[in-house]
Amino acid sequence: MRTLARSLAVGAALTLSFPAPAVEVAKTQGVYVTLASALKSPLAEAAATAERVLGAAGFTSLATFDNGLPEGGRAKSRTIVFTKESWAAEVLAGGADKAFGLPLRLSFYEDEAGVSVALANPVSLLRTFTASNTKDAAAQKIVDEIAAALAPLGALAPKPAGQLRDSGEIGGMGGGAFAAKIVSVMTVGRPPAETAEKLRAGIADATGWHAVYSYKASDDVFVVGVTNPKTEGRAFGIAGEKRATKTSPFPGIDHASAFPVEIVVTKRGDTTSVTILKEMWRMKLYFQDAGNWAFMKNMQMPGDIQGEIEAAIRKAVR
């Protein structure tokens, strides 16, 4: 018995002395990760199950909402926004400006085969926001945790979707480095918490923009998510134009987790800064696979979106 006990102790010590296996991260990443396809459960039931199991796995739900549809579209889509304390700490370790990568967004959308589930890919996003792969392992870990939590939905087969990239670089017209694409909308003298609450409660205008969540990442950093059903529907219609078929006229709904749009509220010394991402750059981040021609045909759209959001922010915080 002593020999057995000694052997077990040595084995345990050896096991503890070795680091945990590194998280494997593929070089090529999609802007989205399709986690499941052709689920036969009704969309509302699948989304409700996801909310429940994500909560049981330690994630915090921020919002659930039905996405806007392209004109003439009938297939439904629903997005869940959520986060986790450990993920927030990992992201904010890179600086408060990285808060644009804090919200996790999971969409459920209908197609001819059933219901599919797609996640805005944290690996791809943080590569873009950090201009490096230093957060790859942490981001892949959170993807794996989400996939594990969603196992009750049925057979999961994660695969990359959307624009495929080997790095986070956003090239071409309207592209560039993340830091240069942060737009300071306004600076105010009130605390971040008060400013975020004004945004959450006050963004609601005739153009359709409204707040769907306000998330306190720390005492100094808040993220407010805003969206507009008409803008969503138009974006999804454009995103799917070159993939459209008679049986699937609006496949761009698979980009639903591009929304909501983030407003980041941060303390800067004695003031509070309210920032967004330049909308042309953000659209390229999530919709670049629509192609250059799609961007050329809709050149005015990003500027209109940015102008509407900035006006809504100033009206809410004044």
User: Distance (Å, rounded) from C-alpha 117 to C-alpha 122?
Assistant: 15
Overall average pLDDT of the 28-53 stretch: 97
Looking at the chain, the whole-number percentage of residues with pLDDT higher than 90 is: 88
Which phi-psi region, left, alpha or beta, contains residue 182 (left: φ > 0; alpha: ψ -120 to 50)?
beta
- Measure the CA–CA gap between 258 and 106, rounded to whole angstroms: 9
Helices (H), 57-121: 85-92
- The pLDDT of residue 260 is 98
| Tokens 């219609």, residue located | 237
Best CA proximity match to 209, nearest among 71, 108, 314, 288:
314
Task: Write down the pLDDT at residue 207.
Answer: 81
What is the reported pLDDT for 16?
41
Contact 38, 117 (CB under 8 A): no
Other CB atoms closer than 10 Å to residue 245's CB: what's the count?
9
CA atoms within 13 A on the CB side of 291: 10
Instruction: Tell me whether the omega of the peptide bond preceding residue 160 falls within 30 degrees of 0, making it cis.
Output: no
pLDDT band at 318 (very low <50, low <70, confident <90, very high): confident
Domains recognised in the chain with CATH numbers = 27-317 (3.30.310.70)
pLDDT in tens, 205-237: 778 999 999 999 999 999 999 999 999 999 999
Give phi and psi for 251, each to the nearest 5: -70, -15
Confidence of residue 10 (pLDDT cuts 50, 70, 90): very low
**Phi, psi (deg, nearest 5) at residue 310:** -60, -45
Residue whose tokens read 């999971």: 106
Q: Average pLDDT, stretch 62-82?
A: 96
pLDDT of residue 18: 43
Decide if 183 contacts 134 (C-beta within 8 A): no
**Distance of CA 220 to CAs 268, 275, 303, Å?**
8, 14, 29
Query: Phi and psi of 129, rounded to 5°?
Result: -75, -25
* DSSP letter (8 states) at residue 204: B
CA pair distance 16, 195, nearest whole angstrom: 47
Distant-in-sequence, close-in-space partners of 178: CB < 8 Å, separation ≥ 6: 97, 128, 129, 130, 131, 168
Strands 210-216 and 104-111: unpaired
Band of residue 269 on the pLDDT scale cut at 50, 70, 90: very high
Q: Is the pLDDT of residue 5 over 60?
A: no
Bridge partner list, 109 = 77, 116
**Cα–Cα distance list, 161 to 35, 79, 171 (Å):** 10, 17, 18
Amino acid at 151: A
Q: What pLDDT was estimated at residue 21? A: 53
In this predicted structure, the answer to whether residue 290 has a pLDDT above a threshold of 90 is yes
Instruction: Find tokens 């049925």 and name the residue.
Output: 154
pLDDT at 1 over 50: no
Is residue 106 within 8 Å of 254, Cβ to Cβ? no
Residue among 270, 111, 131 nearest 187 (CA):
270
How far is the C-alpha of 108 from the C-alpha of 254, rounded, in Å?
8
Look up residue 247 and give its amino acid: T
